[in-house]
Amino acid sequence: MTPALEARGLRREFGHVRALDGADFDIDPGEVVALIGDNGAGKSTLVKALSGSLAVDSGELYSDGERVTIDSPAAARALGIETVYQDLALAPHLDPVQNMYLGREVMRSGLLGRLGFMDHAEMKEKTQRAFADLGATVRDFTAPVGSMSGGQRQQIAVARAAAWASRVIFLDEPTAALGVVQTRNVLDLIKRVRDRGIAVVLISHSMPHVIEVADRIQVLRLGRRVATYDAKETSMEELVGAMTGAINQEAA
């Protein structure tokens, strides 16, 4: 299968710090790949580079086998790549529908639309359908998202990314601040997104979650990919070993 997104030899230095030191990455359509690594291993830098928030010094990116450059979030969006940031990036005073369509409002047809009037009914209906498809447990579509639970907000953020992404979604620590039930909902949501053929990249420190939800696990260490595991055939010990440098699968 052609990877939905592939990176080869990404390098990025911040002063004397090599955040990415020839990092590789690949993910197939309809696959959940977990990206793990100790603090400072380069996970966040890699995600930023792949989602257009950060320029790399060198390296190549391929989307569906074609060479691409992702030099801005807009470029990433144009390729069907969406990112759910750790701090959610929802507007707390807007309701789920308004957040869902923020920056992508559906305008009324004709003159009214040109005057800036929006098609509320259309946006609300599509949002409700998108949430229902994903089984998101958001019931109140007119309350500000700031009044909702962390889990619901995370679901809205994931559902928004899923609605607009056609290729890849990056999720940066999506369950970090969530309780048990809320985490379960978000993990289920991730599986449903994957089942629609979208590639999901999951960054997480939680090994049990990673092993449960991911198909493959790629381990970053000191700015490079040091190992890739099939999630069904690996163990916590093996992953920790790779993260700490005890195991180096890809060492040349």
Partner 1 sequence: MITATQPEQDAAAEERPKSALQRLVSAQAFQILGVLLVLIVLFSIAEPDAFLSVNNFRNVVVNVSILAIIGVGMTFIIITGGIDLSVGSVLVFSGVVAAKVMTALGGQGVGVSIVGALVACGSGTLWGLFNGVVVARLKVPPLIVTLGTLGMALGAAQILTGGIDLRGAPTVLTDTIGFGRLFGQIPYLSLIALVVVVVGAVILHRTRFGRYTYAVGSNGEAARRVGVRADRHLVLVYTLAGFCAGLAGILNLAFFSSTTIAGQSNTALNVIAGVVIGGTSLFGGIGTIAGTVIGLFIPAVLQNGFVIMGVQPFWQQVVVGAFLIAAVYVDQVRRAAATRGASTRRSLSSRFSRPSGARRKEAQ
Residues that bind partner 1 (CB under 8 A): 73-74, 77, 85, 88-94, 98, 102-105, 107, 115-118, 135, 137, 139-144, 146-152, 181-182, 184-185, 188, 212
**What is the DSSP secondary structure assignment for residue 205, as one 8-state letter?**
S
- In terms of CB distance, is 49 or 220 closer to partner 1? 49
Q: Which C-beta is closer to partner 1: that of 137 or that of 228?
A: 137
- Min dist CB 38 to partner 1, Å, is 27
Nearest CB to partner 1, comparing residues 63 and 152: 152
Tokens of 91: 């507007």
Count Cβ atoms below 10 Å from residue 115 Cβ, excluding itself: 9
- Considering the complex, what minimum distance in angstroms separates the CB of residue 21 from partner 1? 28
Report, in Å, the least distance between residue 124 CB and partner 1.
13
CB 147 within 8 A of CB 138: no
Residue number with CB closer to partner 1 (33 or 145): 145
Cβ-in-10-Å burial (0-12, 13-18, 19+) of 47 comes to buried
Q: Distance of CA 150 to CAs 3, 84, 86, 155, Å?
A: 33, 14, 12, 9
Nearer Cβ to partner 1, position 33 or 178?
178
| Contact status, residue 163 vs residue 193, Cβ threshold 8 Å | no
**Distance (Å, whole) CA 243 – CA 252:** 17
Shortest Å, Cβ 103 to partner 1: 4
- Residue entry with tokens 């509320």: 120
Tell me the closest approach of the beta carbon of residue 242 to partner 1, in angstroms.
Answer: 25
| Beta bridge partners of residue 170, listed in sequence order | 83, 201
- Residue 175 near residue 204 (C-beta atoms within 8 A): yes
Q: Report the residue number, 21 or 212, with the smaller CB distance to partner 1.
A: 212
**Smallest separation, CB 139 to partner 1 (Å):** 6
Name the strand (E) or helix (H) holding 88: none
- The distance of closest approach from Cβ of residue 162 to partner 1 in the complex, given in angstroms and rounded to an integer, is 15
Return the number of the residue (15 or 103) whose C-beta is nearest partner 1. 103
Q: How far is CA 49 from the centre of its chain?
A: 13
Enter the tokens of residue 35: 């990206």
